[in-house]
Structure 1
């Protein structure tokens, strides 16, 4: 995709964020746009950087590892948003800034270990299955408290909030209740803020449903198609 189109698309998404925030009395500065660059070439990412975008999301650890090595821009914040493979965390721990898809306490333990070896701190979000779909990742809502308790004493991984993926539907209003559930979990688990747990962020909402997610409290939206166009695979 051309640089002009990517820049134009980014402006369009930022305008959508602004309008969604204004509709519910929020400050647009509260919502971070994560550009989902999975399957897209480095050239597209660099064009987005030229347009001012610095947060990028990848869903495959090998792809993320490669892009972090090939794009040597220290200003970029890399977000891993895909299924975690424990044995591959070591390959991204030296550079990744955010991991959105932590669904088990054992993943936090491994991130702590690998980030510790690299002498860095990685931000993590606990993924909760809010759609009740087996194919979607995430812990059960009832397991969230136990994961947060185990996370409180780490030094190299900080739990900064929750992440959720709603069902794919034509009408975003159909999944408002799923975003509402994640916000309710976020609010009801603030008592676990201690040590390495500081629940501040809600990563929810994508190209087709980001407005509803923002209205329900999203602080991060993950948008790919509306910025970079349709994906070829993955």
Structure 2
């Protein structure tokens, strides 16, 4: 376990250095960017080690893994982010432990999360996932609402009991006009964020960038980056 903690500490330090350098290059303060460590497929023991190392934001993408992990780490002062595509029948469970749901992409999910939050007596921050590869009215291959649906969905979230509109999230597209153009994709997301804040000034979170492209996200203005592999290593079964 000591070896694992040392490994995580080393990886964290490298990621921190990357974020700091990216902030310096962009003329931003390091405090403007929040690191979220994506702990999917890793055990609760790793989450505890990360907490000991100062990590305060962790993310999961599957409720069946996240729920027991959050319960096992309930004594820690952590902010849990849900970042995966979410089925409405899992919304009640996710609303019981997640602090932020970053993958809100349709009105039915808003309704289900709202009901779950109210039932649990909690307030959830919700980010609207934007599919930059989506044609008008279609959802992207990684989930998300088409850009022309942001405004309507934002209004749904803002008006839903138990939910707060936090901002926007995206995953760099693998297809479409932004494929291989992460910086351009994230800059486009920032444009949508600026438009959103006209009507919803408090919705200032912009979650973009992962292990491979966090520098592009920081340069574009992202407030949150989601890093898994660079901190925890290649996921079990993939390396």
Give the total of aligned pairs: 229
CA contact (8 A) 2:140 2:146 kept: no
SS in 1 for 2:98: coil
- Secondary structure, aligned partner of 1:79: strand
Q: Distance in 2 between matches of 1:57 and 1:120?
A: 18
In structure 2, stretches of 5+ residues that fail to align are none
Using CA pairs below 8 Å that are at least 6 residues apart, which structure has the higher relative contact order? 1
Instruction: For structure 1, list consecutive stretches of 5 or more residues without a partner in the other structure.
Output: none
- Show the 5 A alignment for 1:143-154: 143-154=149-160
SS at structure 1 position matched to 2:204 = strand
Which residue number in structure 2 is paired with residue 181 of structure 1? 188
Counterpart for residue 142 of structure 1:
148
1:193 Cα deviation (Å)?
1.0
The answer to whether residue 224 in structure 2 is matched with residue 217 in structure 1 is: no
**Counterpart in the other structure of 1:97:** 99
1:52 CA drift (Å): 0.6
| TM-superposition CA deviations, 1:68-116 (whole Å, max 9, x none) | 1112224011110001110011112122101000001221121111100
| 1:229 aligned onto 2:233 | yes
SS in 2 for 1:135: coil
Distance 1:168 1:214 in 2: 20
Asked if the contact 1:131/1:165 (under 8 Å) is kept, the reply is no
The separation in 2 between residues aligned to 1:204 and 1:142, in whole angstroms, is 19
SS at match of 1:93: helix
> For residues 158 and 218 of structure 1, what CA distance do their matches in structure 2 show?
19
Q: 1:200 to 1:14 in 2, by over 3 A?
A: same
CA distance in 2, matches of 1:69, 1:152: 28
Moved more, 133-142 or 73-82: 133-142
- How far is 1:152 from its partner? 2.5
- How far is the alpha carbon of 1:155 from its aligned partner? 3.0
Aligned partner of 1:127 among 114, 126, 129 = 129
Q: TM-score, normalised by structure 2?
A: 0.90
* 1:68-83 equivalent positions in 2, closer than 5 A: 68-83=70-85
Distance 1:122 1:113 in 2: 11
C-alpha contact 2:174 2:180 (8 A) present in aligned 1: no
TM-score by length of 1: 0.92
For residues 39 and 233 of structure 1, the distance between their equivalents in structure 2, rounded to whole angstroms, comes to 10
